[in-house]
Amino acid sequence: AVAAAGPARAVVAVPKTEPVRDESYRRLVASLPCVVCGVFGFSQCAHRDEGKGMASKQDDRESYPACCTRPGEPGCHHRIGTAREFPKAVRRELELLWCASTRAKLRKLAETDASARVIVQRVIGL
């Protein structure tokens, strides 16, 4: 007996979009205080976890400042990602908020800082 084949399904190709990668934007994000604890001067540009995969680069527009690990203090970047102190669903929800908040802060900064304005305009728009 031959198994009946199911209905034919159309396959639609979805074009892969290249992530925005901009070092000056990442440095601008890192210049902000940590979105988790508020410490200033130790931030790194942290990218959203959702959508990460082997050898895939995250879009810099989906990033936020998180402090690095320093002597005696596990940084928030480590706590959020590697240590997984936040459940995945909570972390993904928070990261969406942190990314949106970061873009808003950078747009606000661009109102008074000409060099930031150039970067913000190029990467996320005003």
- What predicted TM-score, i.e. pTM, was given to this entire model? 0.81
Q: How confident is the model at residue 56 (pLDDT cuts 50, 70, 90)?
A: low
Q: What is the pLDDT of residues 99-117, one digit of tens each?
A: 999 999 999 999 999 999 9
Alpha helices (H) in the chain, listed in sequence order? 23-30, 76-80, 88-110, 114-123
* C-beta of residue 9 within 8 angstroms of C-beta of residue 41: no
pLDDT at 119: 95
pLDDT greater than 90 at residue 44: yes
